[in-house]
Structure 1
Amino acid sequence: MKTIKTFPFVPTNIDVQQIEPNKARISAYPFETGYGITIAHPIRRLLMSSSIGYAIVGVKINGVTHEFDSIRGITEDVSLFVINLRKLQFVIKNTEQTQIVVNYSFSGEKVLFGSDLKNDEVDVINPDVYLATINDDAKIEFSLIINKGIGYVSSEDIRSIILDTFIPVDAYFTPVKSVVYEIENVLVKDDPTFEKVIFDIETDGRISAIDAFKNAMQIMDSQMSIFKSELKITSVSNNDTEPESNENKILFQKLDVLNFSARCSNCLDKKGLKYIGELVLMEESELKSIKNLGKRSYDEIVDKVKEIGYQIGSKLPNNVKEMLYKKLNK
């Protein structure tokens, strides 16, 4: 029997299956009729467009001045060697690093494969990729700039952000190969119209399918957080008092909007911090004393706070502090 609802049913079940190292099936249910596609489609788009991956953005070869040059003693010319390098799928082992420069040197007769570029700093997901053939009297020295990023960035855009000594490379960061979703009907209390959303996700190995899904959820949450903030209607009195300024509204938003790294977010979360204003009000010594917060994470916080126009330990107007304390004590 149908009833009049005042709030849509909230899903209560989720099932996560890792089918292969790079494949996962994630399902959630039950959703109200029509909610399945409303939820599934934007999640798929985020997975395909905004999943974090790693890619080469620049190549520097010793003795080479441009990409149409040749390398003495190497079968491949520079352009073909760079094309082969572009096929590699790297992972930076230190997940806190967003960019790394890796140096390589090879000499003597050798067939160079992706596996030869593995070291303590980076891993290569597709080690069987052929790169070049080196003659017995030849030597090649080269450096790679590997970046963490999302989506696709053209070599022309990269040219302006790397050193002139490096050859810019088209960067394909997206590690997700495919996302397919299905919507099935499920029975809830004699009502067969509820929906179950099933995602089948496959990545290329630079990130696991489950981690890709988690990242997509974090991005969606941070993008939607702007709508979570309290909406206030400011009235203007007869004495023409100006409405409240927008200048300090960022202080009342959740920390998620600053997109901190996972380690940084975990430290702040364990401390019980929720709002940007809390960070701004903290003294440097207090921030540094947070358990497990290293220098890299501290610097990240300082930089993010500067980006929004504040500093750690800023002196805020009394009325702003009072409003912030009220929000924290709710």
Structure 2
Amino acid sequence: MDDLCIKCLKSENHATGVMYGQFLIDALKIGQGITIGNLLRRVLLSEIGGTSISAVRIAGTSHEFSTLPGIREDVLEILLNLKGVTLKDTTQKTKFGRLKVQGPAIVTAAQIQLPDELKIINPTHYIATIADSNVLEIEFQFDYGTSYKLATQTFKEKSNDFLEMDTIYMPVQKVNFKIKNIYDNFNQVKEQLIIEIWTNGSISPGDSITEAAKIITHMFSSITHSTFIEKNYEVTNDEVSGNIDPNTNIPIEELQLPVRAYNCLKRAQINTVGELLKYSPEQLQEIKNFGRKSADEVFAALKNKLGITLT
């Protein structure tokens, strides 16, 4: 294979902090476009790391479904809003921050007190509204990771522990690619790979594709330097089982549901797409406060985001 050349065709920075980039990889042999495109897309979405709020401690709360005096949002809505805070980190260590605001006030991400290594990309992001002279006080834990992590701990009565959050670390939000056939100077058919990348602003699309290429290079480099040891072993049925649904462990946060539908599912202890798919459309509508409109929103999100249609 000839050395690949990548060009940036388009670059955009949106007011929300989202960054977009379009890139061209030229003069590929037939079939190489889809191979490289699929590999880059998977690595960009699952291997590029980021820092997010992983746990919180909110003063005056006993569980995640409680309410706070003088605060318009309940705890679950505050947690949902906090998931939208985008952070850029210069290290990969666990860090802590704090927020303390006295009302009346509108609380945004800019009011979070952070260590020097952290920077908020979307400081105007809304968190909560405080009425009168009430106080909202939150302590934060920030962690670095890849992909996403489901919470394994919930509030306990009279506990001083942090409440773990379902955390999405992925700075790359979306990746698309398409392939075009062209003719070179010798009238031979070649492929062009056009790849589009959207990030949350904590990393640029150009840096993310460079990081993905480094990960791929390191992965295959370790294979080429490996010494093979011949060993025969019997493969069990568990090892060859291929019926695991890839959507099982996807958190419902990735569906980007409206607040009402999201809160109803969380209250019903439905945290992942796998758990959601166990419910029929009729069973979903039996969930408390979960009406036909919320059901339609869930069906549409499943179809648009994951291509899943409930029957």
| Contact 1:52–1:212, Cα closer than 8 Å, also in 2 | no
**CA distance in 1 between partners of 2:2 and 2:106 (Å):** 57
Name structure 1 gaps, 5 residues minimum: 1-8, 235-330
Q: Which amino acid in 2 is paired with 1:97?
A: Q
Match of 2:52 in 1: 55
1:108 CA drift (Å)? 3.2
- Work out whether residues 52 and 215 of structure 1, in 8 Å CA contact, stay in contact via their aligned partners in 2: no
Counterpart CA distance in 2 for 1:11 and 1:188 is 16
Q: Which residue of 2 aligns with 1:86?
A: 83
Offset at residue 120 of structure 1 (A): 5.5
Q: Distance in 2 between matches of 1:200 and 1:157?
A: 37
Aligned to 2:2: 10
Say which of 156, 174, 180 aligns to 1:184. Answer: 180
Structure 2 distance, partners of 1:179, 1:167, is 32
Where do 1:135-284 residues align within 5 Å? 135-156=131-152, 165-229=161-225, 231=227
**How far does residue 63 in structure 1 lie from its aligned partner after superposition?**
3.1
Q: How far, CA to CA, are the matches of 1:232 and 1:157 in structure 2?
A: 42
Secondary structure of the residue aligned to 1:199 is: strand
Cα RMSD, aligned residues only: 2.6
Instruction: Give the distance between the partners of 2:20 and 2:221, measured in 1 at CA.
Output: 29
Aligned partner of residue 188 in structure 2, secondary structure: strand
Residue 91 of structure 1 aligns to a residue in which SS?
A: strand
Which residue of structure 2 lines up, in the alignment, with residue 113 of structure 1? 108
Q: Aligned partners of 1:97, 1:18: CA distance in 2, in Å?
A: 30
Report the Cα distance in structure 1 between the residues aligned to 2:76 and 2:96, rounded to whole angstroms: 20
For 1:29-54, what per-residue CA distance to the aligned partner results, in whole angstroms no more than 9, with x for missing partners? 22222222121111111112222222
| 66-75 vs 56-65, which moves further | 66-75
Identical amino acids, percent of aligned pairs: 27
TM-score (norm 1): 0.60
Q: 1:18 to 1:143 in 2, by over 3 A?
A: farther
Counterpart contact for 2:64–2:154, Cα < 8 Å:
no
**Corresponding residue number in structure 2 for 1:41:** 38
Q: Which amino acid aligns with 1:54?
A: T
CA contact (8 A) 1:11 1:28 kept: no
Q: 1:164 to 1:74 in 2, by over 3 A?
A: same
Q: In structure 2, do the counterparts of structure 1 residues 158 and 218 end up closer, same or farther at CA, with 3 Å as the change threshold?
A: farther
Over 3 Å counting, the alpha-carbon distance change for 1:233 and 1:125 in structure 2 is: closer
2:99 counterpart of 1:104: yes
Offset of residue 182 of structure 1:
1.9
- The structural deviation recorded for 1:119 is 4.8
- Greater Rg by CA: 1
Per-residue deviation, residues 228-281 of structure 1 (Å, max 9, x unmatched): 1054689xxxxxxxxxxxxxxxxxxxxxxxxxxxxxxxxxxxxxxxxxxxxxxx
How many pairs does the alignment contain?
A: 221
User: Runs ≥4 in structure 1, deviation > 6 angstroms?
Assistant: none
C-alpha distance in 1, partners of 2:135/2:154?
28
Aligned residue number for residue 124 of structure 1: 120
Q: Deviations over 1:126-158 (max 9, x none)?
A: 333322222332222211111221111111279
Does the CA contact (< 8 Å) of 2:87 and 2:120 recur in 1?
yes
Q: Please, which of 5, 19, 40 is the counterpart of residue 11 of structure 2?
A: 19
